[in-house]
Amino acid sequence: MAERIADGRIKLQPMKVYTRKGDTGETSLIGGTRVKKYNLRIEAYGTVDELNSFIGLIRDTAEASDQDALLMDIQNRLFTIGSELASDPENSRMKVPELQPADIEALEKAIDKMDEQLEPLKNFILPGGDLAASYCHVARCVCRRAERRVIELNEQAAVDPKIMKYLNRLSDYLFVVARYFTRQHGGVETLWKTRT
């Protein structure tokens, strides 16, 4: 529950951690519609939530990184995506935040800036090289899964195209920042070697 206070801000009421409403395998979307917990919409925003947790792990592992502010911004944008995906498009009257084109551009600028400092990629590399980089690779895989879930959801109910673009660009960012952390932390990139 929320109420608007004098200066226009919204004051949230304390939330209970448990409600017992999900004990039968259903949950509520924003708007009140009850759905099974395996519903594709739940699967989509649940995977985005999983991704957000890995971004937090990256932030904690790569302490004092010049990427920290952007990583925190990414976590906030993932909450934005989650709230939109959690809304029932037919029944919700609540205004949820939206992604902006500038959010996608911020990822692209960060990718380009890091790429300028990295050796050109001529081979596939194996995930790893540094602990923070390894978490980036895991997050990249989760991001790709979130993207697949959102694309599948879009087949059933229209999803803001900016969400799909953002997740696509975020997986690219996570790949490049993994390489960047490996270089920054003195790690070694291992090239994929095929059998001859």
Q: How much is the pTM?
A: 0.85
Q: What is the DSSP letter of 130?
A: S
Looking at every residue in the chain, the average pLDDT score rounds to 86
β-sheet bridge partners, residue 30: 87
CATH code at 2-184: 1.20.1200.10
Chain segment 40-91, per-residue pLDDT in tens: 788 898 999 999 999 999 999 997 789 999 999 999 999 999 988 887 776 6
Q: What is the pLDDT of residue 87?
A: 74
Look up residue 108 and give its two tokens: 């692209």
Give the confidence band of 95 by pLDDT, cuts at 50, 70, 90.
confident
Quickly list DSSP for 82-102.
HHHHTB-TTT---------HH
Domain boundaries, the chain: 2-184
Phi, psi angle pair for 30, to nearest 5°:
-65, 120
Q: What is the pLDDT of residue 97?
A: 76
Contact 77, 99 (CB under 8 A): yes
Contact 52, 78 (CB under 8 A): yes
**CB-based burial label for 78 (10 Å; 0-12, 13-18, 19+):** buried
Look up residue 130 and give its two tokens: 């540094």
